[in-house]
Amino acid sequence: MKAIFIVFNQANTERVEYMFDMMGIMGYTWWENVKGRGTEKGEPRMGTHTWPEMNSAALTIIPDEKVKELLDNISKLD
């Protein structure tokens, strides 16, 4: 089993939920209105006038054999 923590633009919320459903991932914890900056470009998502976008985050525990598929699907969202 592996713990996977995903932080993503709120615009992708429905896509992430759909991805979990299609993969049979039924157990997860979800956070909304998560502030931060990306690791590659560093563009802030702070919910302010200057940086209006926001993130969401999800944590799930999945079997080892589903990790690669989930990470591949996540990379397609980016």
53/45 Cα distance (integer angstroms): 5
pLDDT band at residue 48 using 50, 70 and 90 as cut-offs: very high
Please name the residue that has the structure tokens 């997860």: 28
List b or e across 26-41, with b for residues whose CB sees 16 or more CB atoms inside 10 angstroms: eeeeeeeeeeeeeeee
| φ, ψ of residue 48 in degrees (nearest 5) | -105, 175
Q: What confidence score (pLDDT) does residue 39 get?
A: 73
Question: Span 2-77: which CATH code?
Answer: 3.30.70.120
pLDDT digits (tens, 9 = 90+) for 2-38: 999 999 999 999 999 999 999 999 999 999 999 998 8
Q: What confidence score (pLDDT) does residue 13 get?
A: 95
pLDDT band at residue 59 using 50, 70 and 90 as cut-offs: very high
End-to-end C-alpha distance for the chain, whole angstroms: 25
Domain ranges (residues) in the chain: 2-77
- Residue closest to 24 by CA, chosen among 75, 62, 77: 62
